[in-house]
Amino acid sequence: MKRFHVHVNVTDLNQSIRFYSQLFGAEPSVLETDYAKWMLDDPRVNFAISQRERGAGVDHLGLQAEDSAELEQIGARLKAANAVRLAQVGTTCCYAESDKYWSEDPQGLRWESFYTHGAATSYFAPTAAAACCGPQQESAKAACCGPAAAPNARCG
């Protein structure tokens, strides 16, 4: 069963952790100096926040697959829609090791479809420090997770 994923950029991580912990009635399952994540069953969501050099607001939405076969089913549907912007295998992002398909909806909203197969000790791979989760953006602004966002997206 898939889990819905929401990643929000915040300006004050500690204040946001207090707010979302109260809202969800639970403490984060992952807590780092720049990142927090709640893996909730009611509602079934992977809700993450991070404090990075990006505008505040929704960074991306996604679907978290239970296993690699489920991820490949999602990937096949995205490929059929010609929506895959980036496919990643064994990438480090958000303190996790994952395989991913990054796509965009017709409005440019970024979607991350992924299967996590392990924890990581850093937000991103040390060699990809500027890139976060995905390739570095062409602009001088900070990189986002996944492919470069559409011009009107909240990134960088």
Assigned domain for 141 exists: no
Q: Does residue 149 lie within any of the structural domains?
A: no
Give 125's pLDDT tier (boundaries 50, 70, 90). Answer: confident
Question: What's the pLDDT at 149?
Answer: 45
130: pLDDT strictly greater than 60: no
**CA–CA distance, 41 with 22 (Å, rounded to integer):** 16
Look at 123 and 134; give whichever has higher pLDDT: 123
Q: Is the pLDDT of residue 9 over 60?
A: yes
> What CATH number is given to the structural domain containing 118?
3.10.180.10
In a domain, residue 144? The reply is no
pLDDT value of position 123? 85
Cα 37 to Cα 7, 9, 69, 132: the distances in Å are 9, 12, 24, 16
Is residue 75, in this structure, part of any structural domain at all?
Answer: yes
The pLDDT > 90 percentage for the chain reads: 67
> Can you tell me the mean pLDDT for 5-13?
97
Question: Helix, strand, or coil here: 80?
Answer: helix
60-69, 113-122, 132-141: range with lowest mean pLDDT: 132-141
Q: Is the pLDDT of residue 110 over 90?
A: yes
Q: What is the mean pLDDT of the chain?
A: 84
Has residue 148 been placed in a domain? no
Q: pTM of the predicted model, to two decimals?
A: 0.77
Structural domain including 34 reads 3-128
Would residue 138 count as lying in a domain?
A: no
Domain total for the chain?
Answer: 1
Decide if 133 is inside a domain.
no
